[in-house]
Amino acid sequence: DAGVTQSPTHLIKTRGQHVTLRCSPISGHKSVSWYQQVLGQGPQFIFQYYEKEERGRGNFPDRFSARQFPNYSSELNVNALLLGDSALYLCASSYGQGDGYTFGSGTRLTVV
């Protein structure tokens, strides 16, 4: 079975630009979450979606948005990019709350 797939794997953007990151969960998983991991730190929660509804949002500015599609795939959008948005963005999917998330390999975003 395919794991959680994320695209693109690497991305370089200029300050002020917009970026869209994509995630396909494991088949059958209806919960998708996004995390930001800055170098040298643990991942920070950005969003959780379940059955296409936002179930939680972390302490991130409104420049960050996301959505989940009917096939449970998800997009993370970031507007007006700042240098500080440079990070590894991880998508994770799960069947249920106690099952443990399966993480993708991430998208490495560099803002210059």
Partner 1 sequence: AQSVTQLGSHVSVSEGALVLLRCNYSSSVPPYLFWYVQYPNQGLQLLLKYTTGATLVKGINGFEAEFKKSETSFHLTKPSAHMSDAAEYFCAVSSRSGTYKYIFGTGTRLKVLA
**Which residues of this chain interact with partner 1, rule CB under 8 A?**
4, 31, 33, 35, 41-45, 48, 50, 55-56, 58, 90, 92, 94, 97-98, 100-106, 108
Q: Which is nearer to partner 1, 17 or 53 (CB)?
A: 53
Q: Is 83 helix (H, G, I), strand (E, B) or coil?
A: helix
Nearest approach, Cβ of residue 39 and partner 1 (Å): 11
- Which of 14/42 has CB closer to partner 1? 42
As a whole number of angstroms, the distance between CA 39 and CA 44 comes to 12
Residues contacting residue 18 through CB under 8 Å, at least 6 positions apart: 77, 78, 79, 80, 81
Alpha helices in the chain (DSSP H): none
The least CB distance from residue 16 to partner 1, in Å, is 27
